């Protein structure tokens, strides 16, 4: 395998930026944002250089590795700090650093009034470094470092305004739920080491075929648990909505384009495990299918523009997970949807940020309306992203989402029909809630608060949005032209025979477009023809109420885990004091009690002491006499 000495710079540059910005403190306030952006951009440049090098090599020689140093080595457990850049990770590297750099640029302007802009850029750089480590690590343990590293960066960024208690709670919730997922990754690594004896991708791939299906299934399920935590999939999805507490560029970068897609990366990267573990693969598909409907349904009821987009992200990642769970035929489409989604969703989040910027940080879409005239660029870029997510040809989502729907239908048998129906239904609901977002925000009458003065955002903000919009338009076409991405990734996956087609691509596209049209039409009828209330109506159906509460996910978690956990903690604290420490104090009191009884003998009267001595001596003599007799 080719080795390279320059892979480390991908990670080192943003990491250096984060370190400098954090250590320099307020001294760096003036130039911190510039340094942060430069570091991210130079990492992107290194990524482009690596891509150019990779293009110049044959398929087999494309992956490059770099061993940095021996990290942990005990007995047979040997893990090097090593990096691996192959066809899969280069996609992520370019997405992370490319979108990341655009969002750095956007943030220069977006955060310009914030006292702590430097700290924000430090966290962003830290995130870029951790995310790159996640996709570049050559073993599960290296990936784990990046995996928790992005969790930390996400925690710091969600809680960037942690002086507001709700935001601090949101960041804590995200970290803890992510840790539950991380636990799954720990289990996967432990099982892998105990059964296969190694934790590197290469080693496990090599040994996977003579490892029992049971072990591989266990590893696969644990990896899925990890993926559900990081990618906000059912049942660990509840943190994502609250994570919108972070500044909007963070939502665009971390909670839309990159970090939340790490689960898809993990499953695709572990293709050699899932291909050999059909049960785990089936579970992946089920999780994806549930989440894509779950997220879409939440999206229909949210009035907070960021939370509506977050629900949409959850749903779209559900598509990717579902695609990745379909095996070798689905991996490339999952990655393609991931990349196109990175463009259009990041673009839409930045658009939402732009709207908030012009509307005094108002997030309630019911207080928007008619912004099309005041924010033309935002409207256009957001609109292009909207067309992309709907899957209207020839925008990006048309290529990537239709591929997943098609692959789902072709999965075979009942499974294929169910999955296909679910993905089609999801597409329809997506069209409904995204149209709702568009209508509420940009069209109709204005429902603003009195102090709102909407205005278009400055160049540094709309330029990244424009670039992402171009990506939303073109990326799908470019990536699927001549099956470019599929062929690019093909050497990484094991191939199976051609699948029989249940429905031809044209039929699938037709069905999908029909669903989208229905969704759009319903949204138009409901929100464009009728007056939209500035305050959310209360007399809504039970289903709407449930959807507004995120399908009861928080209530469930609180009732099943949080409150019993708190009660258990309180009981244990009391038990510790009363029973365990009580037993210890009991021993002490026993000693003191017996002492106070014996103290009665110490009367202070000399004559009673003398009498006791006499009695004692007599007894002693008597005893000796008895014994020696």
Partner 1 sequence: MNSLTLLMFLPIIGSVAVAATPKAKETLTKQVALATTLIVAAATIAIAVGFERDNVDLQFVEKYSWIPSFGINFAVGIDGLALVLILMSTILAPIVVLAGWNEAHGGRWSVKVFYILILVLETMMIGVFAATDVFLFYVIFEAMLIPVYFLIGGYGSGERSAAAVKFLIYSLFGGLLMLASIIALYVMSGAQGGHTFDLAALSHLEMSSTTQNFLFLGFFIAFAIKAPLWPLHTWLPDAAQSATPGTSVLLLGVLDKVGTFGMIRYCLTLFPDASKTFTPMILVLAVISIVYGAFLAIGQRDLKRLIAFTSISHFGFITMGIFAMTSQGHSGATLYMFNHGFSTAALFLVGGWMISRRGSSTIADFGGLQRVTPVMAWSFFLAGMSSLALPGMSSFVSEFLVLVGTFTRYPVHSVIATFGIVLAALYILIPVQKALHGPTTPGNENLSDLNLREKIAIAPVIAIIIALGFYPSPLLKVINPASAHVIAQMGFTDPAPTNGDK
Partner 2 sequence: MDAANYLYLSALLFTIGAVGVVVRRNAIVVFMCIELMLNAANLAFVTFSRINGDLNGQVIAFFTMVVAACEVVVGLAIIVTIYRSRRSASVDDASLLKR
490 binds partner 1 (CB under 8 A): no
Contact 479, 340 (CB under 8 A): yes
Q: What CA–CA distance (Å, rounded) separates 436 from 442?
A: 10
Residue 20 interacts with partner 1 (CB under 8 A)?
no
The piece of 189-197, 242-250, 358-366, 424-432 that touches partner 1 (CB under 8 A) is 189-197
Cβ–Cβ under 8 Å, residues 508 and 406: yes
At 520, list the tokens: 């759009």
Is residue 541 involved in binding partner 2 (CB under 8 A)?
no
Is residue 180 close enough to count as binding partner 1 by CB under 8 A?
yes
Pick the piece of the chain touching partner 2 (CB under 8 A) from 378-386, 535-543, 549-557, 600-608. 600-608
Among 610, 619, 620, 622, binds partner 2 (CB under 8 A): 610
The C-alpha torsion from 492 through 258 and 182 to 328, rounded to 10°, is: -30
Q: Nearer Cβ to partner 1, position 584 or 617?
A: 584
In this chain, which stretch among 100-108, 257-265, 410-418, 604-612 interacts with partner 2, using CB under 8 A? Answer: 604-612
Tokens of 222: 């644990």
- Decide: is 622 part of the binding site for partner 2 (CB under 8 A): no
205 binds partner 1 (CB under 8 A): no
- Cα(301)–Cα(310) distance, integer angstroms: 12
Q: Cα dihedral sign for 233, 44, 61, 81?
A: negative
Cβ–Cβ under 8 Å, residues 340 and 400: yes
CB of 70 to partner 1, least distance (A): 5
Among residues 194, 542, 598, 606, the one that binds partner 2 under rule CB under 8 A = 606
Structure token pair of residue 40: 């991210």
Pick the stretch among 283-291, 448-456, 548-556, 602-610 that binds partner 2 (CB under 8 A). Answer: 602-610
**Beta carbons within 8 Å of 536's beta carbon, 6+ residues apart:** 303, 366, 548
Using CA atoms, how far apart are residues 196 and 21, in angstroms rounded to an integer?
42
77-85/2-3 β-pairing: unpaired
603 binds, among partner 1, partner 2, none (CB under 5 to 8 A by kind): partner 2
> Taking a C-beta distance cutoff of 8 angstroms, is the pair 403, 331 a contact?
no
Q: How far is the CB of 592 from partner 2 (least distance, A)?
A: 18
CA distances from 556 to 12, 302, 313 (A): 42, 19, 22
Whole-angstrom distance, CA of residue 169 vs CA of residue 177: 12
Site for partner 1 in 55-84 (CB under 8 A): 69-77, 81
* φ/ψ (deg, to 5) at 58: -75, 165
581 binds partner 1 (CB under 8 A): yes
| Residue 592 binding partner 1, by CB under 8 A | no
Q: Does 25 bind partner 1 (CB under 8 A)?
A: yes
Q: How far is the CB of 595 from partner 2 (least distance, A)?
A: 15
Select from partner 1, partner 2, none the partner in contact with residue 596, using the beta carbon and a kind-dependent cut-off of 5 to 8 Å.
none
Instruction: Provide CB contacts within 8 A for 458, sequence distance 6+.
Output: 109
Judged by CB under 8 A, does residue 353 bind partner 1?
Answer: no
Q: Which is nearer to partner 1, 114 or 456 (CB)?
A: 114
Q: Which stretch binds partner 2 (CB under 8 A): 137-145, 465-473, 478-486, 610-618?
A: 610-618
- 3-state SS class at 293: helix
Torsion of CA 99, 103, 104, 105, to 10 degrees: 110
- Residues lying near partner 2 in the complex (CB under 8 A) are found at 602-607, 610-611, 614
- Residues lying near partner 1 in the complex (CB under 8 A) are found at 22, 25, 69-77, 81, 141, 144-145, 147-149, 152, 159, 162-165, 168-169, 172, 175-176, 179-180, 182-183, 186-187, 189-191, 193-198, 207, 210-216, 568-570, 572-573, 576, 580-581, 584, 588
């Amino acid at each position: 395998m080719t080795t390279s000495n320059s892979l480390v710079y991908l990670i080192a540059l943003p990491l250096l930026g984060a370190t400098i910005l954090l250590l320099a403190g307020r001294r760096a306030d003036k130039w911190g944002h510039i340094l942060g952006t430069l570091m991210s951009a130079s990492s992107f440049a290194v990524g482009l250089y690596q891509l150019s090098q990779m293009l110049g090599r044959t398929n087999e020689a494309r992956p490059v590795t770099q061993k940095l140093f021996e990290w942990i080595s005990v007995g047979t457990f040997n893990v090097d700090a090593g990096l691996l850049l192959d066809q899969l990770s280069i996609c992520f590297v370019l997405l992370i650093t490319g979108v990341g750099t655009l969002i750095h640029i956007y943030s220069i302007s977006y955060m310009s009034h914030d006292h702590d802009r430097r700290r924000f850029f430090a966290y962003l750089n830290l995130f870029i470094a951790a995310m790159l480590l996640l996709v570049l690590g050559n073993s599960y343990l290296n990936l784990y470092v990046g995996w928790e590293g992005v969790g930390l960066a996400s925690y710091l960024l969600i809680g960037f305004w942690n002086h507001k208690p709700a935001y601090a709670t949101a960041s804590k919730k995200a970290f803890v739920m992510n840790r539950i997922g991380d636990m799954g990754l720990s289990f996967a690594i432990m099982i892998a080491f105990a059964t296969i004896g190694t934790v590197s991708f290469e080693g496990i791939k090599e040994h996977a075929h003579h490892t029992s299906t049971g072990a591989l299934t266990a590893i696969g399920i644990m990896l899925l648990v990890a993926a559900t935590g990081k990618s906000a999939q059912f049942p660990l999805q509840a943190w994502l909505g609250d994570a919108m507490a972070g500044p909007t560029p963070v939502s665009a970068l971390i909670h839309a384009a990159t970090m939340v897609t790490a689960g898809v990366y993990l499953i695709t990267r572990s293709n050699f495990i899932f291909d050999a573990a059909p049960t785990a693969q089936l579970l992946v598909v089920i999780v994806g299918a549930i989440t894509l409907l779950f997220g879409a349904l939440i999206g229909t009821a949210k009035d907070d523009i960021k939370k509506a987009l977050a629900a949409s992200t959850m749903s779209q990642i559900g598509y990717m997970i579902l695609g990745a769970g379909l095996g070798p035929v689905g991996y490339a489409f999952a990655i393609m949807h991931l990349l196109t989604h990175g463009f259009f969703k990041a673009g839409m989040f930045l658009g939402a940020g732009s709207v908030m910027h012009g509307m005094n940080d108002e997030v309630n879409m019911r207080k928007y309306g008619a912004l099309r005239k005041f924010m033309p660029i935002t409207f256009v870029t957001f609109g292009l992203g909207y067309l992309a997510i709907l899957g209207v040809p020839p925008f990006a989502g048309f290529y990537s989402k239709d591929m997943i729907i098609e692959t789902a239908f072709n999965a075979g048998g009942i499974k294929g029909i169910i999955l296909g129906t679910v993905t089609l239904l999801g597409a329809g609901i997506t069209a409904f809630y995204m149209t709702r977002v568009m209508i509420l925000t940009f069209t109709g009458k204005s429902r603003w608060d009195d102090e709102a003065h909407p205005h278009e955002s400055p160049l540094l903000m709309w330029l990244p949005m424009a670039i992402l919009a171009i990506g939303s338009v073109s990326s799908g076409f470019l990536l699927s032209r001549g099956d470019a991405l599929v062929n690019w990734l093909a050497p990484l996956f094991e191939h199976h025979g051609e699948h029989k087609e249940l429905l031809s691509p044209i039929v699938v596209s037709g069905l999908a477009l029909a669903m989208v049209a229905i969704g759009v039409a319903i949204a138009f009828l409901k929100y464009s023809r009728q007056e939209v209330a500035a305050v959310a109506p209360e007399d809504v159906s039970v289903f709407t109420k449930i959807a507004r509460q995120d399908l009861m996910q928080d209530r469930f978690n609180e009732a099943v885990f949080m409150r019993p956990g708190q009660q258990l903690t309180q009981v244990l604290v009391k038990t510790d004091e009363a029973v365990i420490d009580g037993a210890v104090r009991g021993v002490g009191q026993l000693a003191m009690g017996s002492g106070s009884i014996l103290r009665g003998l110490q009367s202070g009267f000399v004559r009673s002491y003398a009498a006791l001595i006499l009695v004692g001596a007599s007894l002693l003599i008597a005893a000796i006499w008895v014994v020696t007799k």
